[in-house]
Homo-oligomer: A and B are copies of this chain.
Amino acid sequence: MKVDLNADMGESFGMYKLGHDEEFMKYITSANVACGFHAGDSSVMKKTVELAKKFNVQVGAHPGLPDLQGFGRREMKLTVEEIYDIVVYQVGALKGFTDAAGLQLHHVKPHGSLYGMAHRMEDVAQAICQAIKDIDMNMYIYIMKKGVISSIAESMGIKTVYELYSDLGYDAEGNLVITRAHDTHDSRSVTDRVKKMVIDHKVTALDGTEITIEGDSVCVHCDTPGAIDIVKAVRSVLEDADCEVTSPL
């Protein structure tokens, strides 16, 4: 059984450091690299792509809303044309760095509120998928199976990777609950949860409901307290369960 392990990377900006990219790259198989709108800048992007290359991690674009102060987690009412445009711009910008590094851009994963909107709003989902289609159909899209974007992506022929969230809550309908800042988790509760999601296809929602969930890739956040221990533990628990931890090609 194969499973991918992805994390948001390259979220530092100028003098501001966020996350533990160098440590994380040792354990993950796919990196979602911020593209300068909600986090990251051109210098951080170059270094993050080089780091991913060094550790043989697949590089994906992680486009967000144009709101550095809000870290792309404050919803903004953009038109669908604007959604398309900011995705093409940010994916293109990161592709500049993967082209320069001799790498293929592997995937696109919308960030924060844009991710949430893509799962709820058909026209936003459509705009994001169209951007991917227009740039390069070899790229995967990282999304959740639950959400309007999954059927839209599939109908447009875009290759999907469905995500399982190790450290964010789900509601009883299986929707992700996105918060402005991430909570603390202990490694043990996270690994138990990951094993259950990957092996049993089940997760306990925030209200206690047991729900079914399917996915190809486990997402671990880098900006939670104890994040390095968590990603190590998640990798171990997956390997111990005889999963091959690898990125889809």
Contact = CB atoms under 8 A, between A and B. Distances in A.
A149 to B, nearest CB: 19
Interface string A59-101: 0000000111111001111100110111011111111110110
Nearest to A66: B69
Interface stretch (A12-20, A23-31, A152-160, A230-238): A12-20
A18 B14 CA distance: 12
Contact of A93 (B46, B92, B181): B92
A93 B90 CA distance: 6
A100 B135 contact: yes
A41 interface: yes
B75 A77 contact: yes
B42 A88 contact: yes
A194 B122 CA distance: 41
A39 B17 CA distance: 13
Contacts of A45: 85, 89
A136 interface: yes
A181 B89 contact: no
A97 B86 CA distance: 10
Nearest to A39: B15
Contacts of A164: none
Interface string A133-162: 011100000000000000000000000000
A36 interface: yes
A86 B42 contact: yes
A122 to B, nearest CB: 19
Contacts of A181: 15
A43 interface: yes
Given A15-B223, A67-B76, A76-B77, 18 more contacts: A13-B16, A16-B16, A36-B89, A41-B69, A41-B85, A42-B88, A46-B81, A67-B67, A74-B76, A75-B76, A76-B76, A77-B113, A88-B100, A92-B93, A92-B95, A92-B97, A92-B99, A99-B135
Interface string A206-232: 000000000000000001000000000
Looking at A14, A17, A81, A94, the one whose CB has the most chain B CB atoms below 10 A away is A14
Given A88-B96, A135-B96, A82 B43 contact: yes
Given A13-B16, A16-B18, A76-B67, A96 B100 contact: no
